[in-house]
């Protein structure tokens, strides 16, 4: 079945279901019918509560089935001749150490083969070095990890940098990022846009897709697979944002 037709059927089905639930809730609210109640109505269970409970049960059922399908899939089955390559870019600036550890540990649990991870630290002072240490602690335990402290960034030379040393630094950043599965670059402060520019510039065309998040984001293990599934199945989709939830509410699927 064509993707457009499947999407249209899902939209129609979801809309009809929402209308049915809304109609049932309004009817139950107006009639106020009660199935069970105490003498002074301190406790009661009526049609309104039954419809809300049924709605929650149906939502939970479909969520369970979807998650089971995601886990069984394991990895994407894509129509291309080779699986797509993805790089996860993490922007870090004076992050809380515990938040950063949680972020990087969640990265380890992402269920996607050969995911490249690039963390760029916005700042290269001694006070920023703890973020590089944490990256090394969590992800640097293999021979596929690389690190570089850059005195400059792509748009502003650091103190004492010459044109030759600036170009050498650019080449070093690109080499570290492209030749390692896990890489961390500390660079001259320039703001979040400068951090993202460094990651994108260093990656170049070496990967098919780029996923981004902040250094305080806890990622769901299926986030990369699920976002990539949308991009690969529908050529009209140029970007996907994750379901980002506040602390204590669950795991983020990704970040915009």
Taking the C-alpha atoms of residue 116 and residue 223, their distance in angstroms, rounded to an integer, is 14
Instruction: Report which DSSP code applies to 225.
Output: H
Two structure tokens written together for 90: 């993490």
Report how far residue 219's alpha carbon sits from residue 105's, in angstroms, rounded to the nearest whole number: 9
| Contact residues for 189 (Cβ-Cβ < 8 A; gap 6+) | 122, 123, 124
Nearest alpha carbon to residue 127 among 186, 182, 172, 170: 186
What residues does 88 pair with on adjacent strands?
A: 117, 211
The C-alpha atoms of residue 206 and residue 129 are separated, in whole angstroms, by 28
Instruction: Measure the CA–CA gap between 61 and 35, rounded to whole angstroms.
Output: 25
Residues 252, 219 contacting (CB under 8 angstroms): yes
- Can you give the pLDDT of all 256 residues of the chain as single tens digits? 565 677 778 788 778 877 887 777 777 777 776 777 676 666 666 777 777 778 788 878 877 777 776 666 544 554 456 789 999 999 999 999 999 999 999 999 999 989 999 999 999 999 999 999 999 999 988 789 999 999 999 999 999 999 999 999 999 999 999 999 999 999 999 999 999 999 999 999 999 999 999 999 999 999 999 899 889 888 888 899 887 777 654 444 444 3
Q: How far from 148 is each of 30, 83, 186, 191, CA to CA, in Å?
A: 66, 29, 6, 18
Q: How far apart are CA 223 and CA 229, in angstroms?
A: 10
Contact call for residues 216 and 192 (beta carbons, < 8 A): no
Residue boundaries of the structural domains of the chain:
3-73, 86-233
Which structure tokens are listed for 182? 């896990």
Whole-structure pTM value: 0.69
């Amino acid at each position: 079945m064509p993707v457009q037709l499947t999407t249209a059927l899902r939209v129609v089905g979801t809309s009809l279901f929402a209308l049915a639930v809304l109609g049932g809730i309004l009817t139950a609210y107006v009639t106020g019918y009660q199935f069970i109640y105490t003498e002074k109505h301190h406790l009661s269970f009526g049609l309104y509560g039954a419809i809300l409970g049924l709605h929650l049960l149906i939502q939970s059922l479909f969520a369970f089935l979807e998650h089971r399908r995601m886990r069984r899939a394991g990895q994407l089955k894509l129509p291309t001749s080779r699986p797509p390559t993805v790089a996860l870019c993490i922007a870090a600036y004076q992050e809380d150490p515990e938040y950063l550890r949680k972020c990087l540990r969640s990265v380890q649990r992402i269920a996607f083969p050969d995911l490249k991870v690039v963390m760029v630290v916005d700042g290269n002072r001694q006070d920023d070095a703890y973020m590089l240490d944490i990256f090394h602690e969590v992800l640097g335990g293999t021979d596929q990890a690389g690190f570089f402290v850059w005195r400059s960034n792509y748009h502003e030379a650091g103190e004492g940098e010459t044109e030759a040393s600036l170009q050498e630094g650019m080449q070093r950043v690109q080499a570290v990022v492209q030749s390692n599965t896990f890489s961390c670059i500390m660079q001259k402060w320039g703001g979040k846009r400068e951090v993202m520019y460094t990651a994108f510039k260093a990656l170049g065309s070496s990967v098919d897709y780029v996923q981004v998040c902040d250094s305080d984001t806890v990622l769901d293990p299926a986030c990369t697979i699920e976002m990539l599934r949308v991009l690969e199945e529908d050529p009209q989709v140029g970007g996907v944002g994750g379901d980002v939830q506040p602390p204590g509410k669950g795991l983020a699927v990704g970040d915009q």
